[in-house]
Structure 1
């Protein structure tokens, strides 16, 4: 066992993460049942992986057409490179958008993503996150949260979304 493994605490296991994603899907459907189409914009990489799982759940429980959009940005230095949306062919004009990330900490990553989305004039943008750490520095709040966790600013939350391991850890 490595020193890092000794110091990490399991927050959510695979089953719990799947339950959280399913619950978020129901909440999104409940608040957007009148929409014909919904765009799930996931922050690359874990936010996009969660958006894919969320899309699968929404397609099982609702008639809403779901489109996936990958939001690529440099999280460490977001001003050095432009935020890119893939595929570029998705038009957000007058559409409901749910911006998804794995962990909401300060809100910086989501805040920098908003400008690019807002330039396409969506009908509304809501934020969904698997884990909300509650250290806001930017005016970003999640409309949908899987798990709310009080942490110190020095602690770190790591979400693993691999085929052989799905879990969230507090480091």
Structure 2
């Protein structure tokens, strides 16, 4: 996003156990009050990862929160709709999407 945004861009990694997402860990402690946030995920399937990724951000009062996914699947279990989508595809729940990234650039997305 850095080439497209005039303001300072800070990359923070959100870590969580997808099976037991009670604890969400941020790679950096930061006060998100009055900041514009873009939460990015590689593949949006059920919406669970995005929903739990928002959890620690809501402890503050951000100015805006937007979501971006590289690949959106149509199997939402949670009421999360990405603001920005790279590719939206219809798949079966059994399909697995693999996003390949090299040197910070997306090389491709594959259904397996």
- Structure 1 and Structure 2 fold alike (TM over 0.5): yes
Partner of 1:76: 19
Q: How many residues align?
A: 110
Q: Which has the higher strand share?
A: 2
Give the TM-score normalised by structure 2.
0.89
Query: 1:62, CA displacement in angstroms?
Result: 3.6
Aligned equivalents of 1:128, 1:94: Cα separation in 2? 19
Aligned equivalents of 1:106, 1:86: Cα separation in 2? 24
Aligned equivalents of 1:113, 1:70: Cα separation in 2? 10
Aligned equivalents of 2:100, 2:49: Cα separation in 1? 18
Q: 2:110 aligned with 1:169, yes or no?
A: yes
Aligned equivalents of 1:72, 1:144: Cα separation in 2? 21
Segments of structure 1 that go 5 or more residues without pairing to the other structure are 1-53
Q: Give 1:86's match in structure 2, choosing from 3, 22, 27.
A: 27
Q: Give 2:8's match in structure 1, choosing from 56, 60, 65.
A: 65
How well do the aligned residues superpose, as a CA RMSD in angstroms?
A: 1.6
Larger radius of gyration: 1
* 1:1-171 pair list within 5 angstroms: 54=1, 58=2, 60-79=3-22, 82-88=23-29, 90-163=30-103, 166-171=107-112
Q: Which has the higher helix share?
A: 1
Give the TM-score normalised by structure 1.
0.60
Query: 1:118, CA displacement in angstroms?
Result: 0.5
Q: Rate the CA distance shift 1:68–1:127 in 2: closer, same or farther, 3 A.
A: same
Q: Please list every run of at least 4 consecutive aligned residues from structure 1 whose deviation after the TM superposition is greater than 3 angstroms.
A: none
RCO comparison, higher one (Cα < 8 Å, 6+): 1
Query: 1:102, CA displacement in angstroms?
Result: 0.3
